[in-house]
Amino acid sequence: MNAVNELNAPARAVRAFADLHGRQPAGVWSAPGRVNLIGEHTDYNDGFVLPFALPHRTAVAAAARADGLLTLTTMGDDGNAQQADPVAVADLAPGSVTSWARYPAGVAWVLAQHGVTGGADLVIAGDVPAGAGLSSSHALDCATALALLGLAGREVGTGTAERMEIARWVQRVENEFVGVPTGLLDQTASLCCTEANVLFFDVRSGAQEQIPFKAAEQGLEVLVIDTRANHALGDSGYADRRRGCERAAELLGVPALRDIDLPGLAAALDKLPEELRPLVKHVVTENDRVLAAVELLHNDKLTELGALLVASHESMRDDYRISSPELDVAVDAALAAGAFGARMTGGGFGGSAIALVATADRPEIEHAVQAAFAEHSFTTPRLFTGIPSAGAHQDGLTTP
């Protein structure tokens, strides 16, 4: 690793900005990726989710421009800059920007509708693994939103209402500008998670609770397994699953599948065509699993989360049908080597899995997962410990 990449993401962004533009940025803002402990595909069904932010962050160093142009540069892992063509903020529209640049450009497009219309130079650096299902795109969106708001003199506080307004703006970026029908999980996690806690988020009501995650005190940790099987929601069946859920809710006469509880599940399934039943079964049981997980966390019974994680994965594999061979191998290998529980995390169709493991057993479990991937001739996975970390914020401008 070269000296530049040994810096954290904000410092890399600041250094790259100075190198590219010959001046210091006005500020640097960063936002984290996330792991969802449990509660998958429940957010767009008005349900419950339980994510935490990762230490991995995307940073945006920024300075205002007087000519109304938006310039976008991202720094690769090799330290090389990739620059998009400058675009006038006033000319932004869905479809006007392609590739990676459509995410920060989409943020500028949404914010312009809320009075933030000035141009800016943005330089991006980060270490959230792309394509890993750990919400790298939302980390970029959220960091960009804070940067552009900061340049406009609208610094973002820590209040839930203020941050949820930004989360809804970021959802519009993904839904309307990028064209991916995501819910509110990822951007809410990036903006609202706090260090050492998992976030219990009721999507319908907007209620949030920061629940201490005391894994280290109990000799446990969450092992993240990036399968390196590329996760791209825009090219997957994500939209089909969402449309199926919406159709099921319509047939059942409820606003969302959140309104079907576990005791009423069997009766609800009887009213649906066969192809929609597995989707509804997953959402209803997954919401119940989130509530059960919250109860276990409140009572410091972390090892008992394992059974919920396994049930969640089986539901996503068999009912929602969003797993992949790599995810299944990761989960099976981790469980066989002694993990308390394991599941895929994120939207599915590739990406990452998580395993709840004893810290003392982690080396053996990591080795078992790597060996299983080698046996199947899969790309070597990336493994690291997921530590609940802080949400999006402004960083200092200091560099070495």
Task: State the Cα–Cα distance between residues 368 and 364, nearest whole angstrom.
Answer: 6
Alpha-helical (H) ranges within the chain are 9-21, 102-112, 136-151, 160-172, 185-192, 238-252, 265-270, 277-298, 305-318, 325-336, 362-375
The two three-digit tokens of residue 380, written as one number: 């070597």
The single residue of 186, 226, 361, 395 carrying the catalytic annotation is 186
Q: Please state, in angstroms and rounded to a whole number, the distance separating the CA atoms of residues 136 and 33.
A: 6
| 384: three-class secondary structure by DSSP | strand
| Residue 263, C-beta contacts closer than 8 angstroms, at least 6 positions apart | none
Q: Nearest 5 degrees, angle CA 259-CA 232-CA 366?
A: 95
For residue 153, what are the CA distances in angstroms to 162, 212, 246?
A: 15, 33, 40
Supply the DSSP string of 369-398, one letter for each residue: HHHHHHHTTPPPPEEEEE--B--SEEE---
In the residue annotation, 186 being an active-site residue is answered as: yes
> Collapsing DSSP states into helix, strand and coil, what is residue 282?
helix
Those residues with Cβ within 8 angstroms of residue 243's Cβ, 6 or more apart along the chain or in another chain: none
Beta-bridge partners for 61: 28, 123
On the 0-12 / 13-18 / 19+ scale of CB atoms within 10 A, 159 is exposed
Please, is 393 exposed, middle or buried when counting C-beta atoms within 10 Å of its C-beta (0-12, 13-18, 19+)? middle
> What does the alpha-carbon distance between residue 59 and residue 62 come to, in Å, rounded to a whole number?
10
SS3 260: coil
- Rounded Cα gap, residues 126 and 139, in angstroms: 9
By annotation, the residues acting in catalysis are: 186
